[in-house]
Structure 1
Amino acid sequence: MQLHFSKMHGIGNDFVVLDCRQRDFPLDTAQIRALADRHTGVGFDQLLSVEPARDPSCAFYYGIWNADGSPSGQCGNGVRCVAAWLHRAGALALDSSVMIESPSGPVTVRLLGPHEVTVDMGEPVFEAARIPLTAAATAERYTIETGDHTLEVGAVSMGNPHVVVTVPDLDAPELLQLGPLLSGHSRFGQGANAGFVQRVDRGRLRLRVHERGAGWTLACGTGACAAMAVLHQRGEVDDRVRVELPGGTLRIDWTGPGHTLWMTGPAAFAFEGEWTVAALRA
């Protein structure tokens, strides 16, 4: 079976997008891993499927799988790519808003241009049990021990779990060890995306993210949202923040509790291709 796909990226966070609007999702976990291999497959941080909506209030559904084959609840850069893909497929007009359904619930997207999308990411969830994070009580700061380090962290769900660590230097070599340790820490029942954030000023952050199931990525949309939300909760940033990641910059807008958070950034097409699914089983 020939599997047609689109290769896309949002500031370097890269995806394979499958059109499953008129077919069932065709891959199993082993096949997803093989397709994700950057040497013998196509390569991606996440696989996205565009499918008919389960929720009648939404126009479409999109599924998300990490490079290791595990499912994900949300992907900020991915949803922008889905919106741009729908526009190119003739299903979403420019300067229009539509609700599309993610594994963690509906999100509203607005296509500002063919490659520029703003997304209502919902309200950040700080309740420890809903992240989920094992903690005696919900707090702005938690203490986590990992390896030889005792860290003060923030935690939030943006449809997927995030742990946020403020650091003075994003190039510190110990971060390479801390990222995987935090992503797999036992206090996060479903694992976590580990974000290391450097605050430049009240309107500008620098960020690196180690994603559960994908490793270090050039960008993480929900990670940018999480970093801004955690620092906003502490009163350290303004309502509009530019978050600089290795692959590019996102704009995050949030006015605080009781309001949804908006993420704005680009989505780009890289190429189209076909994969022989039988080769995945070899």
Structure 2
Amino acid sequence: MVNFNGTILEHEEKFLNQENRGLRYGDAVFETIRVNAGKVLFWEEHYLRLMAGMRIMRMDIPMEFTMEFLEDQIRKILEVTGLTGTTARVRLTVFRKSGGRYTPENRGVEYVIEAAPVAEAFYQIREALCEVELFKDHYMAPGLLSSVKTNNRALNVLAGIFASENDYHNCLLLNTDKKVVEAINGNLFLVKGNVIKTPPVADGCINGILRKKLIEIIGKTEDLEFREESISPFELQKADELFITNVISGIIPVSKYRKKNFESEVCRRLLGRLNAVVRLTEQ
């Protein structure tokens, strides 16, 4: 089932057509949200990022799009899918109304909300190998637009195909300045000694919700130093640890990049602190 503009529809029901602007032009923004025990995690941050993305995309924001309204719509789909009180993954997509050339008549927006179960109640470190490689077939443009979660993810799709065809578990994306920006499915952090770095949003990375939370956690950890700085490809093999973050999987340690194998000691420390934040959020 899906929630389409407030109406619950079966998955088999057709509610989009070939004129949908998200399909035609990637004219859509989305949020991927984790729900724990019925609590929408980091909802304020997700809401503010959604509103910022809509403004950058020059979408008209309906007056009814308040935090309370959209949270109610999320709870509506959780209830009908039997996921209330469980751990779930929710995707909220907002797209401009159908129409070819942009005109005042098609400035309005529509939305669809989907939900699916997630197995683990809290974030866990997956023991599976995660070997990564640089994706150099195409490059990301640095700047504000690249930081918005739009439906235009062609670069990520091509990087995913490259990874699959070459037996890598993930790829690291580069911008046109040849700086490492992020992974296919999340933000990148680099650990060297007691210093933890992540690329700035200006380099083109997604302004991730978990990225923000980890920056806060690292800043409160006395023996760790945080830096928001560009990362050169040459730094990767000199790092002690690399890890990828997103709001559904949490922290994903990178185990290998080329000839370098990585530890995950700092990852595990941060994971414990992150789960403590999640527990407080649920209360």
Q: Would you say same fold, with TM above 0.5?
A: no
Give the number of the structure with larger relative contact order, counting CA–CA contacts within 8 Å between residues 6 or more apart: 1
Larger radius of gyration: 2
Higher percent of residues as strand: 1
TM-score, scaled relative to structure 1: 0.35
